[in-house]
A and B are shown apart, each in its own frame.
Chain A
Amino acid sequence: MTFRPLIMSTPIIHFDHATFGFPGVIALEDISLEIQSGEFVGVIGPNGSGKTTLCRAVLGLMAPLKGHLRIFDCACDELRCHHRAKIGYLPQKGVVDRNFPVTVLETVMMGRYGALGLFTRPSGKDRKIALEALAHVGMEDHRDSALGHLSGGQQQRVFIARALAQQPKVLLLDEPTTGLDITTQHNVVELVRHLHDELGLTVLLITHDINMIRSHVDRLVLLKTRLYAAGPPADVLKPEILSQVYGKDLVITERDTIIVEDYHHHHH
């Protein structure tokens, strides 16, 4: 069920029958998927379905056992640091150590470090980019605050600003709403949608929360080791497709809310 865009162009991320994992432990198998520049793609699937592996693969942190993965038309295992800097990554994260001595602006400036490369010191221009990134997430008034003193939702905004400070082409978010209250979850997803529209970013958002993102994404990718479906939410979120992955854990309410029974979060 590979998505075929109407305009043929080189996809920004291209999985071609790619298999990932360690010999004997396959995390993702035979994935073929093209993500075009400017798309907003949600990746869903149950726990242990290979969502975080997909993340690591896109970051060039692991090479495919079989098949190919190309990012920015570069083989993922040959991805250099300057390529990685073009991917703004928001890792799955607990709350930071509250006493870690770092200010909001210092945190966002770290987003510039990879892009600058070794031996180059951050300049006034980098500071300006970091402050703009803070403005994009509405946190410019907190620039001198201690990161640890912010709420979970505010910290998530700061980490998104750090990703933006890389001036990325792709925004890669791994469970960005974990551990936040419902209102804050919606605010974070809406912020990401807004940034996608405003900055023309390609967004890859990984989540177990289908209802949270279904109305925001252009396309959904349904994973459980293999790729079960990829397409517009209306095409993917059908009982006959979802039940292949979630089995009897799947409940669809009359109001079309999808409930799956594996909401415990995985740790690494």
Chain B
Amino acid sequence: MLDLLAYDFIQRSLLAAALVGALCSTIGVFVVLRGLAFMGAGTAHAAFAGVALGYLMGWPPLLMAILFGLATVWITGWVEEKGRMKLDVSIGILYTATMALAILFIGLMKTYNAEVYGYLFGNVLAVTSEELRTIAGLSIVVIGAIVLFSKELYFIAFDQEMAEASGVPARRIFFLLLTLVALTVVISLKTVGAILVFAMILIPASTAYQLTHSLSTLTWYSVLIGIACSVGGVLISSYWDIPSGPAIVLLATLFFFIAVLLSPKRQRRTLASS
């Protein structure tokens, strides 16, 4: 297996996977704690619609993905704040509507475009050096913002009303979190794809959630699990020649079930009920 590491494209894809794994699992902590899981899944589909429109019109696909992603998170965030509609309803509508747009845009293309499908399913082994630089740059921006605002992000994830009352600009921090979720989805689109990106955000944090009662420990566990799954998934995928996205996500899912079985929280429940 070690001789694989000599190839440039393997090194590139391992680096891309590690970056995306770290990024998704970090933002995932706040997504899971703040209860935004479904919103993120909707964002991924909206971003894919942006990519499809980009290819249809000849506009930059990543830029369109960012625009569509941001529009989705801001609209759903605004709806949640107003409390006029249940969040799962508004996201459900946007989720399916943007997917319909994506299918429409693809249908309007005169020819089959393999690159578009690359964004749907992702292929980390095909990442170019230029894409790797984009991923690295945007990852630094997003992780930097998370580190800079970590105490506020933790506070609104725990209790947004309380955060607001004790002098944290909670509304602005909430919209910052939504923006970071959208950017994370777009950055990860090329490597894991629109369908699987949300697993990368959700699973590492949910796995860590099973294992600890401390916010800071949770975050470190999540990041370690995220990187381990991404790198492990790429190695498995190149060694056995299977698609990289499913390899990463299924490895993460395996970790999750092991964590559920070993969870101290689960053991306490079993003891309590016996």
On whether the two chains bind one another, the answer is: yes
Using an 8 Å CB-CB cutoff, how does the interface string of A107-122 with B read, 1 for contact, 0 for none?
1001101111011011
Does B164 make an interface contact (CB < 8 A)? Answer: yes
Using an 8 Å CB-CB cutoff, how does the interface string of A144-180 with B read, 1 for contact, 0 for none?
0111110000000000000100100000000000000
A118–B152 alpha-carbon span in the complex (Å): 8
Looking at the assembled complex, report how far the CB atom of A257 sits from the nearest CB atom of chain B, in whole angstroms: 33
How many positions in chain A have a CB within 8 Å of any CB in the partner chain?
A: 35
Q: Is the interface of B mostly helix, strand, loop or mixed?
A: helix
A121–B149 alpha-carbon span in the complex (Å): 9
A102 touching B215, Cβ below 8 Å: yes
**Residues 94-149 of A contacting B (Cβ, < 8 Å):** 99-103, 106-107, 110-111, 113-116, 118-119, 121-122, 145-149
Tally inter-chain residue pairs, CB-CB below 8 A: 83
Indicate which residue in B155, B214, B215 contacts A113 across the interface (CB closer than 8 Å): B155
B166 touching A61, Cβ below 8 Å: no
Indicate which residue in B158, B166, B167 contacts A100 across the interface (CB closer than 8 Å): B158
Indicate which residue in B161, B162, B165, B212 contacts A101 across the interface (CB closer than 8 Å): B212
Using an 8 Å CB-CB cutoff, how does the interface string of A65-108 with B read, 1 for contact, 0 for none?
00000000000000001111101110100000001111100110
Does B133 make an interface contact (CB < 8 A)? Answer: no
Using an 8 Å CB-CB cutoff, how does the interface string of A41-64 with B read, 1 for contact, 0 for none?
000000000000000000101000
Looking at the assembled complex, report how far the CB atom of A266 sits from the nearest CB atom of chain B, in whole angstroms: 16
Q: Which A-chain residue is minimally distant from B169 (CB atoms)?
A: A81
Looking at the assembled complex, report how far the CB atom of A55 sits from the nearest CB atom of chain B, in whole angstroms: 9
A116–B252 alpha-carbon span in the complex (Å): 37
Looking at the assembled complex, report how far the CB atom of B164 sits from the nearest CB atom of chain A, in whole angstroms: 7
Contacts of A107 in B (CB 8 A): 158
Q: Is the interface of A mostly helix, strand, loop or mixed?
A: mixed
Contacts of B33 in A (CB 8 A): 100-101
A254–B159 alpha-carbon span in the complex (Å): 44
Instruction: Check A113/B166 contact, CB under 8 A, given A99-B265, A101-B218, A103-B215.
Output: yes
Contacts of B166 in A (CB 8 A): 84-85, 87-89, 110-111, 113-115, 163, 166
B151 touching A122, Cβ below 8 Å: yes
A91 touching B164, Cβ below 8 Å: no
Looking at the assembled complex, report how far the CB atom of A51 sits from the nearest CB atom of chain B, in whole angstroms: 16
Report which residue of B166, B168, B218 has the largest number of chain A beta carbons within 10 angstroms of its beta carbon: B166
Contacts of A84 in B (CB 8 A): 165-167
Q: In which size bucket is the chain B interface?
A: 20 to 34
Q: Which A-chain residue is minimally distant from B264 (CB atoms)?
A: A146
Contacts of B158 in A (CB 8 A): 100, 102, 107, 110
B164 touching A61, Cβ below 8 Å: yes
Contacts of B215 in A (CB 8 A): 101-103, 106
Instruction: Check A113/B151 contact, CB under 8 A, given A103-B215, A106-B215.
Output: yes
A116–B166 alpha-carbon span in the complex (Å): 11
Looking at the assembled complex, report how far the CB atom of B167 sits from the nearest CB atom of chain A, in whole angstroms: 3
Contacts of A145 in B (CB 8 A): 213
Does B174 make an interface contact (CB < 8 A)? Answer: no
Looking at the assembled complex, report how far the CB atom of A229 sits from the nearest CB atom of chain B, in whole angstroms: 28
Does B56 make an interface contact (CB < 8 A)? Answer: no
Contacts of A122 in B (CB 8 A): 151
Contacts of A81 in B (CB 8 A): 167-169
A107–B265 alpha-carbon span in the complex (Å): 19
Contacts of A88 in B (CB 8 A): 166
A113 touching B152, Cβ below 8 Å: yes
Contacts of B216 in A (CB 8 A): 106
B161 touching A91, Cβ below 8 Å: yes
Looking at the assembled complex, report how far the CB atom of B254 sits from the nearest CB atom of chain A, in whole angstroms: 22
Looking at the assembled complex, report how far the CB atom of A174 sits from the nearest CB atom of chain B, in whole angstroms: 10
Does B143 make an interface contact (CB < 8 A)? Answer: no
Contacts of A83 in B (CB 8 A): 167
Looking at the assembled complex, report how far the CB atom of A42 sits from the nearest CB atom of chain B, in whole angstroms: 20
Report which residue of A82, A88, A89, A122 has the largest number of chain B beta carbons within 10 angstroms of its beta carbon: A89
Q: Which B-chain residue is minimally distant from A99 (CB atoms)?
A: B265
A82 touching B167, Cβ below 8 Å: yes
A146 touching B167, Cβ below 8 Å: no
Using an 8 Å CB-CB cutoff, how does the interface string of B149-193 with A read, 1 for contact, 0 for none?
101101100110111111111000000000000000000000000
Instruction: Check A116/B169 contact, CB under 8 A, given A100-B33, A101-B209, A146-B213.
Output: no
A118–B168 alpha-carbon span in the complex (Å): 8
Q: Could you write out 16 A-B pairs with CB less than 8 Å apart?
A: A84-B167, A85-B166, A87-B165, A91-B159, A91-B165, A101-B212, A101-B214, A101-B215, A102-B158, A102-B215, A110-B155, A110-B158, A110-B163, A113-B155, A114-B166, A149-B213
Q: A100-B33, A113-B151, A166-B167 are in contact. List 20 more A-B contacts (CB 8 A).
A: A59-B165, A61-B164, A81-B167, A87-B166, A89-B166, A91-B162, A99-B209, A101-B212, A101-B217, A102-B158, A103-B215, A106-B154, A107-B158, A110-B162, A113-B168, A114-B166, A114-B167, A119-B148, A121-B151, A146-B214
